[in-house]
Chains A and B, each alone.
Chain A
Amino acid sequence: MPTDIIRPMKTRWLRRLSCAVAILLSFAPLFPAHAALTIEIIGTGATQLPIAIVPFRAEAGLPQAVTPVVASDLARSGLFRLVDSGGLNPLPHDPQDLNFSIWRARGADAVVIGTIAQLPDGRYDVRFRLMDVTRQLQLTGFAFTASAAQLRLTAHRIADVVYEALTGAKGVFSTRIAYIVKKGKRYELQVADADGYGAQMVRWSDEPILSPSWSPDGMHLAYVSLERKKPVVYVQSLMTGQYQAVANYWGSNSAPTWSPDGKRLAVVLSKDGGSQIYFIGTDGKGEPRRITFTSAIDTEPNFSPDGELLLFTSDRGGSPQIYGMPVKGGEARRLTFEGSYNVSPRFSPDSKSFTFIQRNGGRFNVAVQDLATRQVQVLTDGVIDESPSFAPNGRMILYATEVRGRGVLSAVSSDGRVKQRLTEEAADVREPAWGPFPK
């Protein structure tokens, strides 16, 4: 592994970064939401990797500190234990300054070091290296150029790189989440960073908004609004803020979800009677193509990321259960058999399992079922848990729950060990959806 910063990788990362920055800047026509979500962590992973995050050179006095964000990202995942870097003078910033024995004595397996320098154009050059204490070598390192406004995103990118280098799974710290906030009689569709910061209001209404669904490229949201005194499906660009009704047929229109190629939506329409699943174009043009043909309820469609299977909730067997159906057409197969109420299926990113809500007694909880073995694991123990969705790396599931009568967002690791709670003061937060990796 070269000890110098890897140039080709760097440009690739910069390209990704600038793209993500473009997305963030695209929120300019929208309004910043007032309160930030704050995160509470409950539980930790089975094993936690001890890591030290050393404050970067020239970090003091920056408009946005970088290493505290990296540290809180990693800690929040439950997979890392932060090792104190205090009491060292001078602090190491470059590999040649690093005394590995000190860090081994403190119990750290890995150390993150780095530097920040302001460029003549006012932007910042942020460089970091992830060092392996045991093997005494550099695992990875990158350089970023960022404006002051991009420093927090840069910190998430660094956390993503560290997370991937040490756990093997891609980090999701620079991804975003969408959710609905209810404040009094006002409903807001918001998008925030995965750590709850930087919340932006996408849309507000005095009528309920529900069921936000991310386009696979993370550039659009589909959702349901009751602003026309009935459920209508909208698609909104996060770039321009423009929105349009894409399903506004006679009756109710709801439960939008994107196909993995981003070319169509599955929605639930009642125009022909009952609640049935249809495919429509993402621009709302053309005739809806009906997919289910029952007199039962068929709703909550969700595509497998490989595009093969469509999951949905149906009460065709007498109680609401989850069914799977080939997207190309064919017979629907019942997938859930435990209990009398299994709803809200969402695929895992590897298409091998799905998360859903299972009623156990009077409780509604998040569960995961393996498609091949049909093994079910219940992951949460709230009273009313709703709307689960996987993080794009499959390691966490975001869901809505209630604490003291108020809606809050929570996340649970897919093994059930780590739980996080995201809360906002004086508001009901609900209907979360975890966005895709930035393209």
Chain B
Amino acid sequence: MTRLLTATVLLFLLALAGCATTPSEQAGAAVEDRGKPVGPPGPVPAKPAPDTGAKPLVDKPLGAAALTDPGNILSRRSIFFDFDSNLVKDEFRPLVTAHARYLQQNPGAKIRIQGNTDERGSREYNIALGQRRSEAVKQMMQLLGARAGQIESVSFGEEKPRATGHDEASWAENRRADIVYQGE
């Protein structure tokens, strides 16, 4: 009964989210390009996030709807990493910056950053590697104005792969940190 209810709620949330998952899916298709510094993968958002950098306190804070608006950069939630690296690449700075600003403007908002790794190597060591990735993203967000208490860095290691293949394309897809807002 509870499970049925959970499933219904999940379906509803999925419907609400609409194409929230689409950008990452497209990013998955373009995986071979990910390592090259050619700008953000997938479509560039038609409407970039409002520039809040100059005077964030007087800007009208973005509502939660922006988080799932496919036209908003805040709907993009995945940061991809090179092999054996926890460096947040330049192409993901706009995404990390947008979420950091959102957190700054919405002090009640909380996120979890989930670090992931590819399937190679020890499961426990990979939990630690994924943790390092999620903490790298957290650190950058804190430098950009988010508070530490708003961000919990956790790791799934290699346990929850998005791509299940055993090749470089799948591995690249799984070397990733995902941003999940509380209540999502």
Chain A residues within CB distance 8 Å of chain B: 208, 210-211, 224, 226, 229-231, 250-252, 254-255, 268, 270, 273-275, 297, 299-300, 313, 320, 341, 343-344, 357, 359, 364, 384, 386-387, 405, 431
A359 to B84, alpha carbons, bound, how many Å? 15
Selected contact of A275 from candidates B112, B120, B131, B160, CB within 8 Å: B131
Chain B residues in 8 Å Cβ range of A224: 127
A276: nearest chain-B partner, CB-CB: B128
Instruction: Report which of A211, A229, A268, A359 forms a contact with B123, defined as CB distance below 8 A.
Output: A211
Contact of B78 with A by CB under 8 A:
no
Q: Identify which of B132, B153, B156, B180 contacts A297 (C-beta below 8 A).
A: B132
User: Can you name the residue of chain B whose Cβ is closest to the Cβ of A228?
Assistant: B154
Give Cα A255 to B157, complex, Å. 12
Instruction: Give which listed residue, A230, A273, A357, contacts B122 with CB less than 8 A.
Output: A357
Whether the pair B135, A297 counts as a contact (CB closer than 8 A) is: no
Are A270's CB and B123's CB within 8 A? no
Q: Is the CB of A299 within 8 A of B135?
A: no
B159 adjacent to A341 (CB under 8 Å): no
Q: What is the minimal beta-carbon distance from A267 to any residue of chain B, in angstroms?
A: 11
Chain A residues with Cβ under 8 A from B159's Cβ? 208, 210, 226
Residue pair A275, B127 in contact (C-beta under 8 Å): yes
**What's the Cα separation between A431 and B122 when bound, in Å?**
10
Q: How many A-B residue pairs have CB under 8 A?
A: 93
Q: Is the CB of B127 within 8 A of A254?
A: yes
Asked if A343 contacts B127 (CB within 8 A), the reply is no
Chain A residue contacts of B135, Cβ below 8 A? 270, 273-274
Total interface residues in chain B, CB < 8 Å: 24
Query: Is there an interface contact between B156 and A226, defined as CB atoms closer than 8 Å?
Result: yes
Docked CA distance A270–B121 (Å): 20
Q: Which B residues between 79 and 116 are near A, CB-CB below 8 angstroms?
A: 112, 114
Are B121 and A343 interface neighbours, CB within 8 A?
yes
On whether the beta carbons of A300 and B125 are closer than 8 Å, the reply is yes
Does A252 lie within 8 Å of B131, measured CB to CB? yes
Residues of A within 8 A of B157 (CB): 231
The answer to the question of B124 belonging to the interface, with a C-beta cut-off of 8 Å to chain A, is yes
The reply to whether B128 and A268 contact each other, CB–CB distance below 8 Å, is yes
In the complex with contacts A210-B159, A270-B135, A274-B132, A320-B154 CB distance below 8 A: no
Contacts A229-B112, A274-B132 given; does A320 touch B125 at CB 8 Å: yes
B172 at the interface (CB under 8 A from A): no
Other A-B contacts than A229-B154, A268-B124, 18 sampled, CB-CB below 8 A, are A210-B124, A210-B159, A211-B124, A226-B156, A231-B154, A231-B157, A250-B152, A251-B131, A252-B131, A270-B153, A270-B154, A275-B127, A275-B128, A275-B132, A299-B127, A384-B120, A387-B122, A387-B123
- Which listed residue (A250, A254, A341, A405) contacts B124, Cβ 8 A? A254
How far apart are the CA atoms of A229 and B116 in the complex, in Å? 13
B contact residues around A251 at 8 Å (CB): 131, 152-154
- Our pick among A273, A297, A384, A405 for the contact of B128 (Cβ within 8 Å) is A297
Alpha-carbon gap, A187 to B176, bound state (A): 23
For window 134-161 of chain B, which residues contact chain A by CB distance below 8 Å?
A: 135, 152-157, 159-160
Q: Which of A251, A252, A344, A405 has most chain B Cβ within 10 Å?
A: A252
Whether B122 contacts A344 by the Cβ 8 Å rule is yes
Q: How far is the CA of A226 from the CA of B153 in the complex (A)?
A: 14
15 contacts between A and B (CB under 8 A): A226-B160, A229-B180, A231-B156, A231-B157, A252-B154, A252-B155, A268-B128, A270-B155, A275-B127, A275-B132, A297-B125, A299-B128, A300-B125, A343-B121, A343-B124
